[in-house]
Structures are given as structure tokens and as C-alpha cells.
Structure 1
């Protein structure tokens, strides 16, 4: 992993608030949704992963001294990258298998497992995992966007389309028009609906 301070563009003595502010600004700048039909989408996704890793690392290790060694280890970083690649290939079986090998269940684990479950058709379990990821890391825009999309989909699927009821007391002219049309149709077929009139 690259120097997390450099990735987020903050000084080594930055406060938690400075780190969070820098993180939010970078997420807005590089979020892949801004690059929907753009060849830079993959680059933005990679940059966002790098930003998320740096942010999580700094939050977990803040106040434990400066990281001057130049090498940073982020637990399960390579495994999460493998899982994301499986998800991109829509190989959800192997993505789930890799996630189940991980003992530490952090916010990224819950997010990725939620994505796997949703794509396997288990929306309820997937939703609860993604919601848990957002609760664990409320500043991660990727997690929040996924949860918002799920909430919007749920609302759309469960909303009742309201159409106002027709007025059952139609006026006489409208009723006569309906009867006249019905009579014309019956006469075409050899009958006479309004023979009494």
C-alpha cells in the first residue's frame, strides 16, 4: 500500500477531522458513478480503492506514531482485491469463498459480502450486510451509495401506483354516449340493444 498520508493528501500530524475531510473530498472527486460512460472509470475505481484503504488504515492507526518506514500492511488488502475481481467477473461463488476465509470482519468485508448476497438473489441478507458496513464506516461513500440504491429500489418496488378513482356518478350525457356506442356495435352484429327507445 502507498503512503496513506500521501494518498489522502494530508500531513503526518493531521487530525482525525482533517483526515475525514480529505477523504470525503477525494471520494466525491473519484467516485466511479461520475465516470459512468468514461474510459477513466476503471482508473477512478482503482483510485477509490486506494483512497478507502488509506483512510481505513489511518483511522485504525491514528495516534500510534508516524509511519516513516515507507511500507504499510493492511490486513486482507490483497484478499479484498481478489474478491473485488471475482465480483467484477460475476464469479460470486469464489468471491464468497474468499470472504469466508477472512477471520477479521471489518466494514469492507460486510460490504463485499452484501454485494455477493445481493447478486446471488438474497436481497435481505445482502441489504443487512451493506447496512452494517455503512454503520461501521459512515464516511465511505461507496457503501452509502450502494445502500441508497438498495433503498431506492425497495421504495420503487413497494410503492403503490395511485390512480384516483373514477367518478361513479357520471353525468347523463356520458352514459347515453356509452349506450349509443354499444347499440351501434350490437346493430352491426344483427341485434338491437336500444329497441325500447
Structure 2
């Protein structure tokens, strides 16, 4: 991703258009408006990317030429090879290695959240996985893989998040058994018999 894409502008954008795009995104992603919200970390990451892209474009605005070799945003701290290695670990079922590698990465972009979602899904922690997939999709809604993972989790949400009472079996519990026996005893006593002699 290049700085123009981060700010959502075309490569021929003027200095004023760059500034307008920056102000719009800064209002949207400024971490102060997220308070204690769990999305605050994502907003901080996104804001760092926006600031780096803006600084780069403002310094190099006269040249009007973007060179990917000159620009490396914070999201490039870990190469795609790192993520490919983590994907390979997940595919081989080596979840602990994948999780350890992910935890060593400080910059958490959409790919990081997606892979951490896969790790948690593999561990059977579906609620946690859903949150990570949701964060990945929020950071990069155009990515089909992230959207597909989130949609699958959403479709299966009812089976992942069954409430306790729906999983209880229909076997009678002790209270129902005692209540039934008490009723039988009362009926028997009304008819002159005694089902439970102690009551």
C-alpha cells in the first residue's frame, strides 16, 4: 500500500487535497475519541500510518512521484515472509509457533488480526476469533479473505455462542424428581395409601 492509497487520494492530488484527506482521516481515527474502547489500539495504528503517509507526501509533494523504495510505512516492519511463515505454521497445525511469532510482532495491521483470528479459531476460542476477524475486516474491508472469514463466523455465530440454557439436556433434574415424588405421595395419601412413609 502506498501513501496515496492510505489517504484515499489519487496520485495527482494537490497539496490542498492531501491536507483535506489527512484532516478527514485524522478526525475519524484519532485515538482520543475511542477512550477505553478496544478499538483504540487499531485507531492508534491507523493514525500512525496516516501521519507517515501525510508526512511523506508533504515532504515529497513537489516531485509528484511516489517511489515505493523511498516510502516504508510502519506496516512494513514485518515482511510478507513473516506472515507467510505464520500462515504455514497455522496450516500445518503448529498453532503455538504461529501464536508466538504473532505475539513478537509489535505493529498490528489487518493481516496480524486475521492470522490471530485463525490461531484462536484453531484453538476453539470462537468468540475471540470473531473479534480478531472483525478487527481485520475493519482495517481492510476490501480484503476478500478477511470479509469471508468474518461472514463465516457471523453465519455460524448461533452455534458458536449457544447460551447455557440451550445446551442443558432435557433430563429431569433433582428438583423435578422431588416435586414429582411429593405430588405422588399427596395423591396416595388422599386415597388412603402412603407412597413415602416418612412424609
Q: What TM-score, normalized to structure 1?
A: 0.46
Higher RCO (C-alpha 8 Å, min separation 6): 1
- TM-score, normalising length: structure 2: 0.45
